Amino acid sequence: MTADLRAYTTELTGHGGDPIEVYAAVPEADGPHGSVVVIHHMPGFDEQTKEIVRKFAAFGYAAAMPNLYSREAPGASADDAAAAARALGGVPDPRLVGDVDAVASFLRSRPGSNGKVGVIGYCSGGRQSVLAACSLELDAAVDCYGAFVVVNPPAEHTLKVTALTEILPNLSCPMLGLFGAEDQYPSPEQTAQLAGALAAHDKSFEHHTFEGAGHAFFAVERPSYRPDAAVAGWTLIWDFFGRHLA
């Protein structure tokens, strides 16, 4: 781990030619180094997730996070932008894929890149990490308690998406899944279903379920935070990306 990094906000051309806000953090040390696209949770492009971007840079990865709500509420606070996106049912899947593709291309083209790019997402971003890895050529993917990967949301849910079961055979890279035993979406039954579906298609999927943890156990600012599960989860992430992005 190194404390020497540079963090900044920039603008890229995302899906459909739209300008999107991106928060990036890169190691000051010369490469080559791997890269990580960070997909924020449903609460949005907030300070807590920006800190995760910086954490990856501190551990030697170039990392960047697109503001998935750039179109709905440009310049708005994370809370207001998230509310606007929720009112519309969330981010359309094709747009998510296009935006992640733009950020991955940006990371690959950076001086010092070794050409390898992984993706990680939390909450709704966990599902979107799976979506991206099944839609793009990536080198590693991490799903942190992504809901609605193998089941559709309840009719009353604000997120209007569908399960990703049909595209799971297209997974392009090894995937790590980190889940809580006390979560409902995804429940242990749903994560077992995901593991079974990927095994049936001979895909590489390492998954871990933490007892005593529910949804959002990585979120240090929320009551759901579980330090033991989060520390163990980060250890698994460093090992996983170390094997696939080095």
pLDDT of residue 180: 98
Residue 206, classed as helix, strand or coil, is: strand
Count of Cβ atoms closer than 10 Å to residue 12 Cβ: 18
Q: Which of 228, 224, 199, 203 is nearest to 214 (CA)?
A: 224
What's the mean pLDDT in 184-210?
98
Could you tell me the CA-to-CA distances from 86 to 41, 93, 158, 159, 195 in Å, in that order? 12, 14, 6, 7, 29
pLDDT of residue 177: 98
pLDDT of residue 10: 97
For residue range 139-184, list pLDDT tens digits in order.
999 999 999 999 999 988 888 999 999 999 999 999 999 999 999 9
Could you tell me the CA-to-CA distances from 69 to 51, 75, 92, 195, 209 in Å, in that order? 18, 10, 11, 30, 30
Residue 71 CA to residue 213 CA, distance in Å, equals: 34
Name the DSSP class of 205: E
For residue range 138-151, list pLDDT tens digits in order.
999 999 999 999 99
pLDDT of residue 1: 64
Name the DSSP class of 39: E
Query: Hey, what domains does the chain have and what are their CATH numbers?
Result: 5-244 (3.40.50.1820)
